[in-house]
Amino acid sequence: MKTVVRWPGLWPQLLLALAAVTLALAAHGEGLPEYRLKAAFLYNFAAYTEWPAEAGATLNVCIYGADPFGAEADSLNGKKAAARTLVVHRKTQAEALKGCQIVFIANAGSEPVRHVLDVLRGLPVLTVADTPRALQHGVALNMNLTQERVTFEANLRAAREARLELSSRLLRLATGVQQ
């Protein structure tokens, strides 16, 4: 009996493998600008998150506060992640974040982080930061830069409260996971 390989059934696996390689390369990308690496992480966070149906076909990636990414974030525009198209927006008002599916809270103190989290409470929004102690304040994913390597930690409770499921493949790469 012949084994038939069906390419359409392999595409999701191939895309996940490609995303894993991208994330691994970004994590070890010495010499690359910090926010180019962090933009790659945002892409992979989108790809390795299971979204509720209400998220729709577009994932609005919103950068809240002073934008540290510049053109690096713009490279995400139009990319596909988990069959959804990424669109980058910059927002300066927390109330304007309600139409976002991913919110990157630019390096801010604990008060802006708490305010954004209060505005987004109960919505299916993946919150991401790169601020010390942001995870403890309730952000789902927090990126760190250590010895020119970008790492991240995850807060599963925050993700579950937002009705999001973080892939076990993503969580294996985290430096810390809060239950």
Is the distance from CB of 152 to CB of 144 less than 8 angstroms?
yes
**What contacts 128, CB < 8 A, 6 or more positions away?**
42, 45, 102, 103, 104, 105, 139, 140, 141, 142, 143
- Residue 89, pLDDT > 50, answer yes
**What contacts 77, CB < 8 A, 6 or more positions away?**
86, 87, 88
Q: Which pTM was predicted?
A: 0.82
> Within 13 Å and on the Cβ side, how many CA atoms surround 125?
27
What does the pLDDT look like over 9-44, one tens digit per residue?
434 443 444 444 445 444 444 446 999 999 999 999
**Which stretches of 12-125 are assigned E, i.e. beta strand?**
49-50, 58-64, 80-81, 84-91, 102-105
What does the pLDDT look like over 91-112, one tens digit per residue?
999 999 999 999 999 876 667 8
Q: Which residues pair with 92 in a beta bridge?
A: none
Alpha helix positions (H), 48-137 = 71-74, 110-120, 134-137
- Residue 54, pLDDT > 70, answer yes
- Name the residue type at position 19: A
Is the distance from CB of 164 to CB of 120 less than 8 angstroms?
no
Q: Is 68 helix (H, G, I), strand (E, B) or coil?
A: coil
d(CA 90, CA 101): 13
pLDDT reported for residue 64: 95
pLDDT reported for residue 110: 67
pLDDT reported for residue 87: 98
- Residue 70, pLDDT > 70, answer yes
What does the pLDDT look like over 119-173, one tens digit per residue?
999 999 999 999 888 999 999 999 999 888 999 999 999 999 999 999 999 999 9
